[in-house]
C-alpha cells in the first residue's frame, strides 16, 4: 500500500485496506520461522499524520494464520492481532542516532521520494506478532516419544508399560478407599 507523501498532512487520516499475503508467506518460507502460513490477505487499519517532515503511523492488523504445532505437528488456525506505531523520517535527514529510541514500541524507518510504501512495514509487524513456538493448545500433549502417536487424539500403551507395577497397585488401593 503506497501513500503520496504530499497527501499526508498534519490532520490525522485513517485508512483500511487488505494487505496481500503472498509476500509475507515468502518471507516466512525463507526466514527462521517456518511454522506459519497466512491464509488470506490480512486487514490493516492505519491512522497517519505528518509533523514537519516526519510521518507518524499507528494502527492494527489482524490475520488468519495457519500454524504448525511445535509439539504435535498438527496444523491449526489462529487469529493474530497486533497494534503498532512507526515513524518515517526522510532519508535526506537520515540520522536516526539522535532519536529517542527509548520508546520501545515505536519503530523508526526512513522514506525517500514522493511515495511511502507501508506494506513492508506492515508485513514486518505481522511477523513480529507470531509467537516463536506455536502450540495448538496450552496443554498440548504432543507426540509419544516412543511410538509417535498424537497423544491429544489417542493414547498408547508405551507409558503404561513403563509404570512400576507396585505404584499401580498403590494407586488402585487409594482409589478404592473413597
Ligand atoms: Zn499440538
Ligand atoms: Zn506410544
Q: State in Å: Cα 78 to ligand 1 middle.
A: 13
- CA angle in degrees (0–180, nearest 5) for 87-91-92: 130
* 135 within some domain: no
24-36 pLDDT per residue, tens? 999 999 877 778 9
Please tell me whether residues 89 and 157 are part of one structural domain: no
pTM higher than 0.85: no
Please tell me whether residues 96 and 178 are part of one structural domain: no
3-state secondary structure of 125: helix
Please tell me whether residues 40 and 93 are part of one structural domain: yes
Q: What ligand is nearest to the CA atom of residue 78?
A: 1
- Alpha helices, DSSP H, located in the chain: 22-30, 119-129, 158-162, 165-177
Quote the number of domains for the chain: 2
Please tell me whether residues 92 and 168 are part of one structural domain: no
* 107 within some domain: yes
The whole domain housing 177 covers 141-178
84-115 pLDDT per residue, tens? 999 999 888 755 555 555 555 677 888 988 99
Q: State in Å: Cα 138 to ligand 1 middle.
A: 8
Axis-axis angle for helices 22-30, 119-129 (nearest 10): 50
Please tell me whether residues 177 and 123 are part of one structural domain: no
Please tell me whether residues 21 and 103 are part of one structural domain: yes
Q: State in Å: Cα 151 to ligand 1 middle.
A: 9
Amino acid at each position: 500500500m503506497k501513500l503520496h507523501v504530499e497527501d499526508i498532512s498534519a490532520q490525522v487520516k485513517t485508512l483500511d485496506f487488505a494487505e496481500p499475503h503472498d509476500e509475507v508467506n515468502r518471507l516466512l518460507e525463507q526466514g527462521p520461522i517456518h511454522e506459519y502460513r497466512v491464509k488470506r490477505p490480512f486487514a490493516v487499519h492505519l491512522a497517519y499524520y505528518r509533523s514537519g517532515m516526519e510521518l507518524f503511523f499507528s494502527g492494527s492488523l489482524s490475520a488468519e494464520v495457519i500454524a504448525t504445532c511445535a509439539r504435535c505437528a498438527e496444523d491449526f488456525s489462529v487469529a493474530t492481532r497486533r497494534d503498532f506505531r512507526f515513524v518515517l523520517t526522510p532519508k535526506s535527514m537520515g540520522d536516526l542516532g539522535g532519536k529517542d529510541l527509548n520508546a520501545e514500541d515505536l519503530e523508526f524507518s526512513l522514506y525517500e521520494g514522493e511515495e511511502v510504501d507501508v506494506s513492508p512495514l506492515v508485513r514486518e509487524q505481522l511477523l513480529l506478532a507470531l509467537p516463536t513456538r506455536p502450540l495448538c493448545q496450552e496443554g498440548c500433549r504432543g507426540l509419544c516419544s516412543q511410538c509417535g502417536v498424537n497423544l491429544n487424539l489417542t493414547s498408547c500403551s508405551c507409558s503404561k508399560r513403563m509404570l512400576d507395577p507396585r505404584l499401580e497397585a498403590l494407586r488402585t488401593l487409594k482409589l478404592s478407599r473413597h
